[in-house]
Structure 1
Amino acid sequence: MNAEQLFARIEAKRSFLCVGLDTDMNKIPRHLWAGDDPVFAFNRAIVDATAPYAVCYKPNLAFYEDNGEKGWVSFRRTVEYIRERYPDIFIIADAKRGDIGNTSKMYARAFFSGNLVDAVTLSPYMGYDTVEPFLQFDGKWAVILALTSNPSAADFEMQRLEEGGFLYEKVIDTSKEWGTADNIMYVVGATQARMLKGIRELVPDHFLLVPGVGAQGGSLEEVARFGMNRQCGLLVNSSRGIIYADNTERFANAAAEKAAELASQMSELLTKYL
């Protein structure tokens, strides 16, 4: 899937919503625990409820790896279910891999062979060698960490360089040359929304994956105002605010309501800024 195709899906749904599947066994409704794969049962219900409003799903691998072999089974069943039932929806493996050489090649093969997912989040700290293997797969994306919303992002990302600018700007300016707007996007936290204007000057055509709206307090309106480009260029993620909107047997209905609410706001913002 290239950028134009992703934008076509955004236009069709009038939404740029990415639903984060950060599925914690301790937070899912207890009535699901009796099944053979409670995590998959929860994800399947969330996906079915939110698919009319989402253009993207983002399973966070930490929540699956924590469950060992069972977690990997749940992850695979989830993405295979999305592929089968909702083949037009973009899937990001939020894995934050970051290694070089054959290790990076193996990571790329693990996620992209067999069309498991469309994109993987990557830490670029070790440079081009970290990202290059992921760019060898047609139609697949490297999602590079740029400016995150965690408090200690300032430890490195916001450090000023002697030649001017911040380290995160150097990361973006250098890495944009490794691929194209059809296979590289950047993670920019919603709580850093006002910095999106400067980021857009560096990468006017690239997609940005923007977490932090909802539970983390990011402003959707500000993200759209400062970050939207002529093809939207945004995938705004909400995880906890949607998937844990309710902890009873109506959890899926509550998730659908929250997703619909965000999608409605996104439709208005698309009209306003495109």
Structure 2
Amino acid sequence: MTRQEIFQQIQQKASFLCVGLDTDIQKIPQHLLKAADPIFEFNKQIIDATADVAVAYKPNIAFYESLGAKGWESLHKTLEYIPKNIFTVADAKRGDIGNTSALYARAFFDTMDFNSITVAPYMGVDSVSPFLEFEGKWVILLALTSNQGSQDFQTLTASDGRPYFHHVLEKSQTWGTPDNLMYVVGATRGEKIAEVRSLAPEHFFLVPGVGAQGGSLEDVAKFGMNEQCGLLVNSSRGIIYADSSENFAKTARMEAQKLQEEMKKLLDHYL
């Protein structure tokens, strides 16, 4: 999927919403446990309820890996069910030596046909470049994350007086382009979003942390939006676990629509 195709979806839906499919067998509504594949049934109903306002879906791979072969089967069926014009993110946070990364890339891009994958940059270019060799696929590199431990390394001051994440942003742009490389930028670090945008003006950002984690959607748009929006704002728990009753999908839709309505106002204001 190209950058222009992503932007067209954003324009058509007046939305830059990414729905995180962090589907936990221990948290889904109890009545679904009677289904042949409870994880897929939950995802199916969430997708049915939100596909007209979501421009991306992001399954967190750990939730599926934890269930072994059945989890991978549920993930495969989920990917098959997502409409082909909606961007898919494998939230896998891979990144290893070159030959191993090449196999991860083959797994997620060829075998499973995800549009993108999150990748950790710590091991450098040879761990990232195999993912960038697939035409029409995207690397979403961890740049400045929203978890508390991000301060352990990402914001440390380097020898030139700048934080480590500055170097990640600048160096990685010699590996990929705005047409195949995005960045993870946490919404809960609102004061840093403008800083990241100044270093990567054309790239898309995948932004977690809005909703349950307390990030401000208005701040994300104010400091992070560019001429093609440049944002995929993820909400997981705030949408998919908003209701644990048999009406969970209806409630998920209501929460997704609330975000979409706010996103429309922000798009109208900044674009």
Give yes or no for TM over 0.5: yes
* SS of equivalent to 1:44: helix
Within the candidate set 232, 236, 254, 2:229 is matched to 232
Distance in 1 between residues matched to 2:134 and 2:112, nearest whole Å: 10
Q: Deviations over 1:160-180 (max 9, x none)?
A: 111121001110110011011
Superposition misfits of 4+ residues, deviation over 3 angstroms: none
Q: Which residue of 2 aligns with 1:15?
A: 15
State the shift of 1:116 in Å.
Answer: 1.6
Equivalence map 1:110-121=2 (5 Å): 110-114=107-111, 116-121=113-118
Q: Deviations over 1:214-270 (max 9, x none)?
A: 000000000000000000000000000000010011000000000000000000000
State the shift of 1:196 in Å.
Answer: 1.2
* SS of equivalent to 1:213: coil
Equivalence map 1:125-164=2 (5 Å): 125-164=122-161
Equivalence map 1:1-274=2 (5 Å): 1-82=1-82, 86-114=83-111, 116-274=113-271
Distance in 2 between residues matched to 1:25 and 1:71, nearest whole Å: 10
Distance in 2 between residues matched to 1:106 and 1:114, nearest whole Å: 10
TM-score by length of 2: 0.99
State the shift of 1:115 in Å.
Answer: 6.0
State the shift of 1:114 in Å.
Answer: 4.7
Give, as a single letter, the amino acid of the residue that structure 2 aligns with 1:113. D
* SS of equivalent to 1:28: coil
CA root-mean-square deviation: 0.8
Distance in 2 between residues matched to 1:181 and 1:5, nearest whole Å: 13
Distance in 2 between residues matched to 1:7 and 1:114, nearest whole Å: 26
Aligned residues: 271
Q: Deviations over 1:48-84 (max 9, x none)?
A: 00001100000000100111111111111101111xx
* SS of equivalent to 1:178: coil
Q: Give yes or no for contact 2:76–2:112 (8 Å, CA) kept in 1.
A: no
State the shift of 1:19 in Å.
Answer: 0.1
Give, as a single letter, the amino acid of the residue that structure 2 aligns with 1:38. P
Distance in 1 between residues matched to 2:49 and 2:207, nearest whole Å: 22
Range 226-235 or range 194-203, more displaced: 194-203
Distance in 2 between residues matched to 1:100 and 1:265, nearest whole Å: 42
TM-score by length of 1: 0.98
Q: Give yes or no for contact 1:18–1:57 (8 Å, CA) kept in 2.
A: yes
* SS of equivalent to 2:189: helix
Task: Report sequence identity in percent.
Answer: 58
Q: Which runs of 5+ in 1 are unaligned?
A: none
Distance in 1 between residues matched to 2:97 and 2:269, nearest whole Å: 43
Give, as a single letter, the amino acid of the residue that structure 2 aligns with 1:17. L
Q: Give yes or no for contact 1:193–1:227 (8 Å, CA) kept in 2.
A: no
Q: Which runs of 5+ in 2 are unaligned?
A: none
